[in-house]
Amino acid sequence: MIINPTAVYVLWLREMKRFTRAKSRIVGALAMPLFFLFFLGLGFNRMAVPGMTGDRTYIRFLVPGIIGMGLLFSSTFGGLSVLWDREFGFLKEIMVAPVSRLSIVVGRIVGGTTTGLIQGVMILGLSFLLGFKILNPASFFLALLMMILIATTFLGLGLIFASVMKDMQGFSVVMNFVIFPLFFLSGALYPLNNFPFWLRYLSFLDPLTFGIDGLRGILLGSSSFPLLLNFVLMIFFSGLMLFLGAYFFERSESV
């Protein structure tokens, strides 16, 4: 199918307008990550973290994990907008438009990735107030690339669930059973080496594990896996989730 750039732009612009006009949405998206960052970061800042030496305190270890958490929640729940649009008839209107469903999927993913990236950058910027430092300016741009991969991965996951479900309340319940295990398995709050043997290997199935580890490698210069491996795996996961998201969306009903 051919992607219609105009349709992609219109859906992206719609998402940007919804994001900038809903101030409560911005506050809500930042509230929980900042809650974790301030209270856990300040409370455990003197705690020794295995593999982190010198000035690499717990709060520096925590920041990439909180950025990943914000991207996970905002991107996955981005799939909820599909159910919302179906509920109020907007999805039916764009489904009958003379554009491919792939264009609709790409437009939603580009819009959701942009809002997720904005939130990630805002969390990173606020972390500087707590003493967080990055290695060099170049690492910031590499971190943006990793944030994009994380956001697209979980936007695809949210789209899969939203395409096969029709109840908004049910979506929230099911996603809570998916999001929190992914978050706690990722090593966002503690090193993977602290996990039991079997749980550590289970965490390797979690895409967020490699996304957060990649952010730590980029921003701190310290990671559990080689940085190139993190990028390769995240490219694979993002491509897989986007393919599956588009597949299920194309076969979903608009009403």
Q: How far is CA 157 from CA 36, 38, 175, 243, in A?
A: 24, 29, 10, 10
Cβ(188)–Cβ(66) below 8 Å: yes
Q: Is pLDDT at 212 greater than 90 in this prediction?
A: yes
Q: Is pLDDT at 172 greater than 70 in this prediction?
A: no
Residue 49 pLDDT level (bands cut at 50, 70, 90): low
Q: What is the DSSP string of 101-132?
A: HHHHHHHHHHHHHHHHHHHHHHHHHHHGGGT-
pLDDT of residue 149: 94
**Which residue's entry shows tokens 């489904």?**
95
pLDDT of residue 246: 80
Task: State how far the Cα of 114 lies from the Cα of 95, in Å rounded to an integer.
Answer: 23
Residue 89 pLDDT level (bands cut at 50, 70, 90): low
Element (H, E) at 68: helix 58-76
Residue 230 pLDDT level (bands cut at 50, 70, 90): very high
Number of neighbours of residue 237 by Cβ within 10 angstroms: 22
Residue 76 is classified by DSSP as H
Residue 79 is classified by DSSP as G
Residue 181, CB-side half-sphere exposure with 13 Å CA sphere: 12
Tell me if the pTM is above 0.85: yes
Residue 85: φ, ψ to 5°: -65, -35
Task: State how far the Cα of 66 lies from the Cα of 251, in Å rounded to an integer.
Answer: 34
**Which residue's entry shows tokens 């809903």?**
22
Residue 77 is classified by DSSP as G
Q: How far is CA 215 from CA 63, 77, 118, 147, 175, in A?
A: 9, 22, 16, 8, 24
Cβ(220)–Cβ(240) below 8 Å: no
For the chain, what percentages of helix, strand and coil (3-state, to nearest 5) are there? 80, 0, 20
Average pLDDT score over the chain: 80
Domain boundaries, the chain: 5-250
Task: State how far the Cα of 70 lies from the Cα of 56, in Å rounded to an integer.
Answer: 22
pLDDT in tens, 98-155: 667 777 778 888 888 888 898 888 888 888 887 788 878 888 999 999 999 999 999 8
